[in-house]
Structure 1
Amino acid sequence: MATTDTQINTKAARGSLRFRRIKNSIFLSGLSVFAQLYLFQPVLPMLCKEFGVTPAQSSWAVSASTMGMAAGLFIFSFKADAVPRKHLMGGAMLVSAVLTLLSVFIRDFHLLIAVNFVKGAVLSGVTAVALAYLSEEVATTSLGLAISLYLSGNAIGGMAGRIVVMLIAGWANWRWAAGCIGATSLILGLFFTKRLPASKHFVAMPMNIGQKWQQMGVFFRQPVMVLVYFAASLLMGCFVSVYNYTGFRLESPPFSLPHYVIAGIFLMYTVGVLGTMVAGRLSDGIPPARVIRVFIPLMAAGLLLMLIPQLVALAAGLGIFTFSFFATHTLASRLISQEAKEGKSTATSLYWLFYYAGSSFIGTSTGVVLTGWGWSTFIAALLGLVLAGGSLVFRAGRRPVIE
């Protein structure tokens, strides 16, 4: 749909009441999604004991949610443009909160896995259209800030879904932790549906599967889109790998840290929030394709620091890597939302689909590298992936991007 001058002038600008409501609501949506998506990760040992499953089997409590997210994103890439943005996001937040609360009462592990898969699919309703909503409703001069706030909510939610859950579960049990996250998410969902402004620039398009396939084909023929999709897959896979396996490094010599200290590594997500804010503000004044070139080398530098067998160096490297990843993710998200002239929700759904595909495949594969060849080879493999992702980003940056 072509955007008229009148529509541009009515988009929410920084300082307006509409913009404040949008940024606050969209921040809370990211918080809710990622708190629920990863809430079982820190309590996997508890699931092993209660349900009598192996550690590998218990990991399905997390994997089912992310697999559901990927499946839902593919479905919503066809359906999302037919449903009002606010209705889809608000409904997804409320239904997912109910499913999280339901998991408190489940006594069968396989049923828990099934519910988590469905919950991940439902949560994808937020992820599929949040960036499209922002690009449609927020003025271009303020879009970077709005996107960075949404991704900051993702980062803080991901951190809360690990640290807060672990603390509550340690004090009580995992069911209390899930109940707290579910109840909080329900409150956030109710607040979201009340406060988020309805779309002004969205026009529902009836679902046409053939047309959607054609639209996807258009995106895959646009070099910038393809390059950013694959870069997101590689870089997210590196990020998940670092946070999956750094705990193993810290519990081994020369560090030999206790588990409650190791859990503190997830506090580095706060550095990621800073990365989204810095990148968002920079991209409001400088083309994101230029800004993103700064953060890829910083990701590599962070990984190199993590090779040094000193705790201060490893912590500093992890902080730099996390800051740079979230900044890169913010800028890549903006590139996709700006490049898609039509079908923005389809474009962003495909971005998230590649994002989670990289998370699943690379996050598991690099564990094999760590087990077989050790920490140095593991970091070297991640460096290779970062450089490969960086080369794709640099190629995308050399092509004309719609600003």
Structure 2
Amino acid sequence: MGSISSSVIISDIDHKADKKSRRFRNIQLTIFLSGLSVFAQLYLFQPLLPTVAKDFKTSIGDSSWLVSSSTLGMALGLFFFAFQSDSFSRKKQMLFALLTSSCLTIASAWIESLPLLIAMGVVKGFVIAGVSAVALAYITEEVQASVIGLAISMYLNGNTIGGMSGRMIATVLDGEIGWRNTVMIIGLGSLILALIFWKYFPDSRFHQPQKIDFTLKVKQMRNFASDPYMLRLYFVAFLSMGTFVSIYNYLTFRLESPPFSMNHLFIAFIFLMYTLGVVGTTIVGRLSERMEQRRILQVCIVLMLIGVLLLLSQRLFIVMIGLALLTLSFFGAHTMASKMVALHAQEAKSTATSLYWLFYYFGSALLGSGSGYFLHATSWSYFILLLGIVVLISYFLSLRKMKII
């Protein structure tokens, strides 16, 4: 009986994708393309906000909901899929998300009502969450343990490059052909990526759809939400992500205005700063093996604060240094906080990380738009000071002795 069990286990391992197999190469390619598509669409409207605000004759805060709606939908979708993902086929869920989201993006080019466009953003974000909710689970199930890290890095690189390239392409095309044509082109590009995914993404071999114990899930979420340690980290995610998105939402407005008056082609290259996110993640990943994790998180948050305050300057090179420091340290803080959440959860790690992502994207949506209304009512200086206070609060939350009631 024991020998039969052993042979089954060995057989299962042999069938998992290894580095030299065609199956692994297909997984790498398609998982990269899925990340590329998701994050290109998720933040598509971020560099388009000034143009859209003018087109709809609306305020900065109102237009920002085009970004916040997608991230709000993403948060709601991740919460939903935390309960339902294991009930569906991995490939069918991801394919549905990629095809539907790209069609919604294409349709957005013809919407004449801002409220309807925002509502569509919520639906698109909800659908897109179907990819993010299971991508990492699929990799750990289908790929040999020795190359899981390589496959995950491809997915995360797709996320980063998708977010960066989507913003850059949108900024350049917006200045040349207008925001509606820009949205249509990115939607068509995402549709092509979805079709490639459909053809080459391997079906799951090690996952069978199954029913979920909802009562157990709710109990697990309640336990994590009442844990002061986890709650502090969740609010750090909320505040830091909200700050980061707020800066990138409205910096374009700032740079297009005096004293900078920058051309859209130059503004597009600012989104290359996202490459520093990869650097920040890598540095923190290495330091976390040798230093206390809480200290690393606190250092990252302090560097975020310095980066934010440098954005008060009217000198472009100082603003760029501040943006670089903010981007580098934010991704470092995010990497460290998410790792601390996963490590602190002794069981039900997927539930713990689902709550983390829920706070993360709610921060993007709520603080990302709320700060826009504040900017519209005051000035850039007060806006930056507000975000500085937000980052300072997240620093105090990272202190071990800080209590949350």
**Which TM-score bucket, shorter chain as reference?**
0.7 to 0.9
- Paired amino acid for 2:280: G
Counterpart secondary structure, 2:134: helix
Quote the sequence identity (%). 49
- Paired amino acid for 1:245: Y
Q: Which moved more, 1:175-184 or 1:200-209?
A: 200-209
Does residue 190 of the first structure (1) align with residue 207 of the second (2)? no
Q: Could you tell me which residue of structure 2 aligns to residue 399 of structure 1?
A: none
Residue 359 and residue 108 in structure 1: after superposition, are their counterparts in 2 closer, same or farther (change >3 A)? closer
- Paired amino acid for 1:120: G
Does residue 313 of the first structure (1) align with residue 284 of the second (2)? no
Q: Could you tell me which residue of structure 2 aligns to residue 322 of structure 1?
A: 327
The Cα shift of 1:60 comes to 3.7
The Cα shift of 1:345 comes to 4.3
Q: Which moved more, 1:192-201 or 1:324-333?
A: 192-201
Residue 383 and residue 9 in structure 1: after superposition, are their counterparts in 2 closer, same or farther (change >3 A)? farther
Q: Could you tell me which residue of structure 1 aligns to residue 69 of structure 2?
A: 64
The Cα shift of 1:319 comes to 0.6
- For 2:166 and 2:223, locate their aligned partners in 1 and report how far apart those are by CA, in whole Å: 37
- For 1:90 and 1:214, locate their aligned partners in 2 and report how far apart those are by CA, in whole Å: 31
Residues matched between the structures, number: 393
- For 1:395 and 1:373, locate their aligned partners in 2 and report how far apart those are by CA, in whole Å: 35
Structure 2 counterpart of 1:28, from 33, 42, 49: 33
Does residue 122 of the first structure (1) align with residue 127 of the second (2)? yes
- Paired amino acid for 1:37: L
- For 1:276 and 1:38, locate their aligned partners in 2 and report how far apart those are by CA, in whole Å: 20
Residue 28 and residue 326 in structure 1: after superposition, are their counterparts in 2 closer, same or farther (change >3 A)? farther
- In terms of Rg, which structure is larger? 2
TM-score (norm 2): 0.80
Q: Could you tell me which residue of structure 2 aligns to residue 155 of structure 1?
A: 160
Q: Could you tell me which residue of structure 1 aligns to residue 3 of structure 2?
A: none
Q: Could you tell me which residue of structure 2 aligns to residue 362 of structure 1?
A: 367
Q: Could you tell me which residue of structure 1 aligns to residue 225 of structure 2?
A: 220
TM-score (norm 1): 0.80
- For 1:61 and 1:178, locate their aligned partners in 2 and report how far apart those are by CA, in whole Å: 12
Q: Deviations along 1:261-307, whole A, 9 cap, x unmatched?
A: 34443231222233334445666888866754553333233234334
Residue 347 and residue 276 in structure 1: after superposition, are their counterparts in 2 closer, same or farther (change >3 A)? same
Does residue 261 of the first structure (1) align with residue 257 of the second (2)? no
Structure 2, unpaired ranges of 5+? 1-5
The Cα shift of 1:39 comes to 1.7
Structure 1 counterpart of 2:308, from 282, 303, 308: 303
The Cα shift of 1:90 comes to 2.6
- For 2:111 and 2:216, locate their aligned partners in 1 and report how far apart those are by CA, in whole Å: 41
The Cα shift of 1:11 comes to 10
Q: Is the CA contact (8 Å cut-off) linking 2:169 and 2:268 kept in structure 1?
A: no
- Paired amino acid for 2:125: G
Q: Is the CA contact (8 Å cut-off) linking 1:129 and 1:349 kept in structure 2?
A: no
- For 1:182 and 1:105, locate their aligned partners in 2 and report how far apart those are by CA, in whole Å: 12
Over aligned residues, Cα RMSD in angstroms? 3.8
Within 5 Å, which residues of 2 pair with 1:2-401?
15=19, 17=21, 21-47=26-52, 56-134=61-139, 146-199=151-204, 202=207, 204-280=209-285, 292-340=297-345, 343-370=348-375, 374-393=379-398, 395=400
